[in-house]
Amino acid sequence: MALIPEVPRSCAMPDFDEILKQKTYCEYFAGIGLMRLGLEKKGWSIAFANDIDPQKYEMYRAHFSDAHLHYHVADIHNIPQELVPSTTLATASFPCNDLSLAGARKGLHGEQSSAFWGFIRVLEEMNCRRPPIVLIENVPGFLSSRRGLDFAEALLALNGIGYSVDAFVLDAADFVPQSRQRLFVVGIQEPQVRRSMRLVPAFAESPVRPKLLGDFMFSHPEIKWRVRNLPAPPTTKSSLTDILDDLPPGAPEWWSMQRAKYLLDQMSVRHRQTAARMIMGRRWSYGTVFRRVRNGKSMAELRTDDMAGCLRTPRGGSGRQILLKAGKGKYFVRLLTPRECARLMGAGGFSISGTLNQALFGFGDAVCVPVVEWIAESYLNPVVTELIRDREPALPCCTAHA
Task: Out of 297, 316, 336, pick the residue that ends a domain.
Answer: 336
273 and 252 within one domain = yes
149 and 68 within one domain = yes
Residue 353 lies in a domain: no
140 and 228 within one domain = yes
Query: Cα angle vertex 349, ends 346, 354, to 5°?
Result: 100
pLDDT in tens, 82-112: 999 999 999 999 877 656 555 555 666 755 6
327 and 205 within one domain = no
Q: What is the pLDDT averaged over residues 264-293? A: 95
Residue 401 lies in a domain: no
275 and 180 within one domain = no
Sequence-distant (≥ 6) Cβ neighbours of residue 374 within 8 angstroms: 170, 175, 233, 234
Residue 349 lies in a domain: no
User: What pLDDT does residue 235 have?
Assistant: 83
31 and 59 within one domain = yes
User: What pLDDT does residue 95 have?
Assistant: 75
pLDDT in tens, 350-376: 999 988 889 999 999 999 999 999 999
Q: Which domain holds residue 294?
A: 246-336
Q: Give me the chain's average pLDDT, please.
A: 88
70 and 173 within one domain = yes
Q: What is the pLDDT averaged over residues 232-249? A: 91
Residue 377 lies in a domain: yes
Residue 106 lies in a domain: yes
Q: Are 27 and 376 in contact (CB under 8 A)?
A: no
187 and 282 within one domain = no
Q: What is the pLDDT averaged over residues 132-137? A: 97
Residue 295 lies in a domain: yes
Return the CATH number at 87.
3.40.50.150
User: What pLDDT does residue 399 have?
Assistant: 42
User: What pLDDT does residue 353 have?
Assistant: 92
Residue 252 lies in a domain: yes
141 and 56 within one domain = yes
Task: Out of 295, 319, 336, pick the residue that ends a domain.
Answer: 336
153 and 35 within one domain = yes
326 and 184 within one domain = no
Q: What is the pLDDT averaged over residues 270-295? A: 94
Q: What is the pLDDT averaged over residues 119-126? A: 96
Our count of domains for the chain comes to 2
d(CA 131, CA 53): 25
User: What pLDDT does residue 401 have?
Assistant: 40
Angstrom distances, CA of residue 105 to CA of 117, 137, 210, 294:
17, 17, 22, 19
324 and 382 within one domain = no
Residue 344 lies in a domain: no
